[in-house]
Amino acid sequence: MTVWFVSRHPGALDWAQRSGIAFDRHVTHLDTEDVAAGDTVIGSLPVNLAADVCVRGAEYWNLSLRLAPQDRGRELSAEELQGYDVTLERYTIRKMT
């Protein structure tokens, strides 16, 4: 079982490390074909990729925060993320057909 941390943002990686979040692999892009049943994926994935993670039998933990409009589109530090009450929230997502 692998714990994945998925983020292309240095501040998010720094926040995870400072917060003691244990993970086996850090990737900036997740190929869901590499995810196996029993794995855990942590990050902010597009909903279709998060659903693919869940259908494979892995857990999806979203890196959640309520970002102010003026901070969208720029890199945030670990401290700034903390100021936005960043948390990890587990979701189970499935595609409706």
For residue 44, the model assigns a pLDDT of: 94
pLDDT category, 7, cuts 50, 70, 90?
very high
- Asked, for residue 97, whether it belongs to a domain, the answer is no
* Residue 47 domain flag: yes
Q: What is the pLDDT of residue 4?
A: 98
- Choose between 97 and 47: higher pLDDT: 47
Question: CA–CA separation, 71 vs 63, rounded Å?
Answer: 16
User: What per-residue confidence (pLDDT) applies to 87?
Assistant: 94
C-alpha torsion sign, points 28, 50, 36, 42: positive
Domain span holding position 8: 3-91
Number of domains in the chain: 1
Residue 18 lies in a domain: yes
Show the tokens assigned to 17: 């490390």
Single out the residue of 2, 21, 33, 37 nearest to residue 88, CA to CA: 21
67 pLDDT above the threshold of 90: no
